Amino acid sequence: MRYCLIWFLLIYTPCHSQKNEAIIYLPTEESLSTRETPEWYGNAKLGIFIHWGLYSVPGWATPTTTPDKVTDWKNFYKNNPYAEWYSNTLRINGSPTQAYHKKVYGDDFNYYQFAPLFKVQNKNWKASDWVSVFKDIGAKYIIVTTKHHDGFTLYPSRITHPFMRDDEIHSSRDLVGEVMKEARKQNLKFGVYYSAGLDWSFYKSPITNLWPDLFKSMPNSLAYTAYVDNHFYELIHRYQPDVVWNDVNFPAQGDMLGIMAELINQNSNAVFNNRWNAGLRKQILLNLTDFDTPEYTVNDSITERKWETCRGIGYSFGYNQNETDEHMLSSDALIDMFINIVSKNGNLLLNIGPRADGSIPENQLKRLHDLGDWMKINSEAIYDTKPWRISSTTLADGTRLRFTQKDNLLFVFLLDKPKSSTISLSGIFLDKGSKIFLLGNEGKELKYHSTKESIEIRLEASPNPFAAVIKIIQHR
């Protein structure tokens, strides 16, 4: 018995290996809360979210508004702009989605009958078509929806659903694995999204209001708990993800701590988002997770804890054929939002909603390419940076400014074009020998005058139609 106890302690006690200093974590709050967030995540700044599934076949929703502007939640769910919620909206009597579905597919067409259509439509899709685009625009990680609220998995899960056939609820093709392999081939981090809090294949009553319907609709049976636990262990061992992005909640009786320990013992660079809850106290949840996840909103100020805004380019995460340019962020607004997020210690997880055949809609691609062109000139001011002592200010003429820093470099983002060719930045003092450039035009030093209170900089024309970035090299 004594030897068994010694073996248990050697295997399961967190310790530093003399050879590689690896740490083994126990599935306990005490052990897991000692882990620090890996640096790669805070330095990455830009990730790509992929919402793709059965809902991509109809690709239909009412583009009403973004959720951050909702005041009437009952009306929101009946006219839900999230196309990935098609299955839920379909069951709400009188909803536009229900009327559309009846007209196009008929009363007797079950949502899960989209599965064979999805399979046929994506047969020619190649993961490299996506990942090459994401790599080119400067994204550092990709997160794929492995199972959304409809319960359909984008990989051939070996976990048997207690009520549905495999061909209804699991993809026979490993779409997740193909993205994972291509992402790692192109040196991008790879993450998995999983909806543990909602699964309409277990609980079929529609959600019609945010409170309390959303949380009442969460499956809580032992069968569902076991299903979720086994899916997470399957995802960990199948893909060893760098990010686990859980959604809505986690079954209270589930093995959350075991799942977390299993992943980081397999992949020490993995990170977790904060949408777990599972009855945990708020502080414990903060200790166990690495970043917060505001949706369609941006934090007001700099925070020490990492956060990540997730949102679609338009109103929906899943592909919505009804979205036009008027429902989408302009390229200028997208880039301004990204800068604003990074200046406050956040990441942007920008969602792409492909069609069922895997093609990315042209209006989404246009904005991705504009962001990529801007990043090719200005990424030095984004990657590996930290917030400055303030995130933002405004010039006298109304020009909005944002700031980041690293080492002896200070970056000043001009979200608007100043009305004068000379701008004054207060609160910055430069020693002799400091230099100032405009990113994209580093061959020409900008002229400036420094006082004890401010610096005045004479600007040159920006090489980019979007936000210009001033690079200040502070002499030390």
- Checking if the pLDDT of 10 tops 70, the result is no
Determine the topology of domain 386-473 in CATH.
Immunoglobulin-like (2.60.40)
Mean pLDDT, rounded, for 192-204:
93
CB-based contact 320:52 (threshold 8 Å): no
Name which of 12, 74, 238 is nearest 146 in CA terms.
238
> Going by C-beta distance under 8 Å and a sequence separation of 6 or more, which residues neighbour residue 408?
473, 474, 475, 476
| Both structure tokens of 121 | 């439509």
Question: What's the whole-model pTM score?
Answer: 0.94
Give the number of other CB atoms < 10 A from CB of residue 243: 26
Q: Is the preceding peptide bond at 212 cis, omega within 30 degrees of 0?
A: yes
| Both structure tokens of 346 | 């956040």
Q: What is the pLDDT of residues 346-377, one digit of tens each?
A: 999 999 999 999 999 999 999 999 999 999 99
- Checking if the pLDDT of 16 tops 60, the result is no
Please, which residues bridge with residue 291 across strands? 273
In CATH, the number for domain 39-381 is 3.20.20.80
Q: Which residues of 291-312 are buried (b: 16+ CB within 10 A; e: fewer)?
A: bbbeeeebbeebeeebbbbbbb
> Going by C-beta distance under 8 Å and a sequence separation of 6 or more, which residues neighbour residue 139?
46, 47, 48, 188, 350
- Checking if the pLDDT of 17 tops 60, the result is no
3-state helix, strand, coil in the chain (%, to 5): 35, 20, 45
Name which of 454, 437, 433 is nearest 446 in CA terms.
437
Please, which residues bridge with residue 349 across strands? 47, 310
Confidence of residue 12 (pLDDT cuts 50, 70, 90): very low
CATH 2.60.40.1180 in the chain: give the residue spans: 386-473
CATH 3.20.20.80 in the chain: give the residue spans: 39-381
Name which of 140, 132, 144 is nearest 189 in CA terms.
140
Q: What is the pLDDT of residues 273-305, one digit of tens each?
A: 999 986 667 788 889 999 999 999 999 999 999
Confidence of residue 6 (pLDDT cuts 50, 70, 90): very low
Q: What is the pLDDT of residues 218-238, one digit of tens each?
A: 898 999 999 999 999 999 999
Mean pLDDT, rounded, for 396-412:
97
Mean pLDDT, rounded, for 163-174:
97
Higher-scoring residue by pLDDT: 435, 16: 435
Please, which residues bridge with residue 457 across strands? 423, 448
3-state secondary structure of 146: strand
- Checking if the pLDDT of 20 tops 50, the result is no
The predicted structure's pLDDT at residue 19: 40
Angle (deg, nearest 10), helices 222-239 and 175-185: 30
Sequence letter at residue 239: Y
- Checking if the pLDDT of 9 tops 50, the result is no
Confidence of residue 11 (pLDDT cuts 50, 70, 90): very low
Mean of the per-residue pLDDT values of the chain: 93
CA–CA separation, 74 and 206 (whole Å): 12
SS3 letters for 177-223?
Answer: HHHHHHHHHCCCEEEEEEECCCCCCCCCCCCCCCCCHHHHCCCCCHH
